[in-house]
Amino acid sequence: MCRVVFMALTDRHFASNLENNVLAVYVAWRPHPHTHLCSTMSDPAPPISSPNPPPFFPTHPFDSTVGSDATLRSSDGADFHIQRAVLSLVSPVFETMFTLPQAASDSTIPVVELTETSRTLDGALRLFYPGTTLRLDANLIPTAKQHLEKFHATRPLAVYAIACRHQWHDVAVAAAREGLKHPLRVPDGQTPTEMHGMTAAAYYNLLQYHFLCGETAKKTLGLLEWLAYPTEFDVCMCAKTEQMTFTNSTNSTNHWVPDWFSAYLNGIRDVLLRTPGKDVRTLGQFSRALMADRCHNCHQFDLVSFGQSQLPARIAAALSKVELIF
């Protein structure tokens, strides 16, 4: 028998949206980098289950081999008999896998071993498999949220949209914060798929949050009241055409600053207005400030400590105080 082992399916993403009793399902499967086909070795993650759960037996339509041409095997040994065509429609990975030539064997039906338990696999299959009775199990919500959170960095808008539709506040907030690293207003001729079904209020709240975070970052850079004035700038011979507000032990005062320093902060400010969550330590403005033609006195100012430690910490602290309306 040709044994197909599908190892460590760790980057799955599926989420369902229930609206007007119609279930829209988004399924995207991506294998682990070390996935192997036609292998006899696997190292699946231990399934999350309650102690000594009662045995689970697949029911219609997964209990019959009639018409099936593939088998999904759960981590606890339950076999789900399915049709390749159905899985190929919802999973590009399975679509590709089923077209690969298999080793000669006594059986033509491949077995795909997964790390999910039988109950989890049954619930996932019933989200999209035809001829099934949908069973909405609240115990699957933590699993769905866990897989959804893996896409914060790559698709924050999609995660935010799905989280809002399900009223998952913690997931929505995390996605909105991750979305600060990306501009919301971009030239795109097509409406992103994930925005279909998002309420106007949810999108407005995201726009407002993004805008307020940009203004907060701008204020943090414009009023340096949290920073003691660098005395090195007093005797600096560089050109000075702009004043900035600093603080001392008793009050805030305005001081002239070198042009390279104001250009550095103004450049960062322009970036953060569009993408408030950008890591200022990696922006080109920092490297340009390091290479600026500064006088000997300017070089005494610890730009590395300021740009790589103090400034990022202040911006992060300020942004953490901005709340997302949910």
Stretch among 19-28, 260-269, 292-301 having the lowest mean pLDDT = 19-28
**In the chain, % of residues over pLDDT 70:** 77
pLDDT tens across 218-262, in order?
999 888 878 888 888 888 888 888 888 887 656 678 888 899 999
pLDDT at 43 over 70: no
Query: What confidence category does residue 103 fall into, taking pLDDT thresholds of 50, 70 and 90?
Result: low
**In the chain, % of residues over pLDDT 90:** 30
Show the tokens assigned to 36: 């192997």
Residue 246 backbone phi and psi in degrees, to 5: -120, -175
- Indicate the domain borders of the chain: 3-140, 214-319
Residue 25 backbone phi and psi in degrees, to 5: -115, 135
Rounded to an integer, what distance in angstroms lies between the CA atom of residue 84 and that of residue 81? 10
Mean pLDDT of all residues in the chain?
78
pLDDT at 10 over 60: no
Question: Does the pTM exceed 0.85?
Answer: no
Instruction: Determine how β-strand 79-82 pairs with β-strand 70-73.
Output: antiparallel
pLDDT at 150 over 50: yes
Instruction: Determine how β-strand 79-82 pairs with β-strand 22-28.
Output: unpaired
Q: Quick one: which H or E segment has residue 224? A: strand 223-228
Query: What confidence category does residue 15 fall into, taking pLDDT thresholds of 50, 70 and 90?
Result: very low
Query: If you average pLDDT over residues 33-48, what whole number do you get?
Result: 34
- Stronger pLDDT, 146 or 24, i.e. the higher one: 146
Residues, the chain? 326
- Stronger pLDDT, 293 or 57, i.e. the higher one: 57
Q: What is the pLDDT of residue 49?
A: 47
Q: Which residues of 206-243 are buried (b: 16+ CB within 10 A; e: fewer)?
A: beebbebbbebbbebbeebbeeebbebbeebebeeeee
Rounded to an integer, what distance in angstroms lies between the CA atom of residue 43 and that of residue 27? 24
Stretch among 162-176, 186-200, 228-242, 263-277 having the lowest mean pLDDT = 186-200
Q: What top-level class would CATH report for the domain 3-140?
A: alpha beta
pLDDT at 46 over 60: no
